[in-house]
Structure 1
């Protein structure tokens, strides 16, 4: 695994028939980006399929075709909004204050 997928378990959460689902969504959206901005769709060539609402709802109504740029923007926004888990251990109270 390389690039953005490195270290991610997201691919493991996709259904076995994901390639067929992905192809159907791209075909349905005519490979056009569905990013809506200013009341207009981007409409650039789309080769990625995005979950509109985060999670494991892989139904066609929760999937949309996006261009690589808009998919990266959306994923970055969702990642920045996600709760953070500290990799540092909690600060210990001073023994004299226990």
Structure 2
């Protein structure tokens, strides 16, 4: 996530570095993402701490360690689901029927 275009860092608690270190240690400094075969992702570098649910809940139970690939995949999936839940844009013009089909 590019922090330059986001205010997410400002939403984190002042002791975020301690929380992050605790979660990384709890997860054994390894991604908790799953591979296609169901095994745990072996990545141990470039790790990020992800909010499982509510992004304002910074409790250990709501945090997990993910590699950047699994974090991006999770974010992409959540973004797509949110867009699908959104009602269609009411400002959009209705589709016009083809003049030869009238």
Report how far residue 54 of structure 1 moved: 3.4
> In 1, distance between residues paired with 2:44 and 2:67?
6
Structure 1 pair 5–82 and aligned structure 2 pair: CA distance change class (3 A) = farther
Structure 2 partner of 1:31: 29
Find the structure with the greater CA-based Rg: 2
Matching residue of 1:63? 63
- Name structure 1 gaps, 5 residues minimum: 85-89, 92-98
Q: CA deviation at 1:82?
A: 2.5
**TM-score, normalised on structure 2?**
0.71
Over aligned residues, Cα RMSD in angstroms?
A: 2.6
Any stretches of 5+ residues in structure 2 without a counterpart?
Answer: 93-102
Aligned to 2:42: 43
Distance across 2 between alignment mates of 1:25 and 1:42: 16
Question: Per-residue deviation at 1:15?
Answer: 0.4
4+ residue runs of structure 1 moved beyond 6 angstroms? Answer: none
Q: Given the superposition, is the C-alpha separation of residues 80 and 70 from structure 1 closer, same or farther in structure 2, using an over 3 Å criterion?
A: same
Which residue of structure 1 lines up, in the alignment, with residue 97 of structure 2? Answer: none
Alpha-carbon distance in 1 for matches of 2:31, 2:38: 14
* 3-state SS, counterpart of residue 5 of structure 2: coil
TM-score by length of 1: 0.73
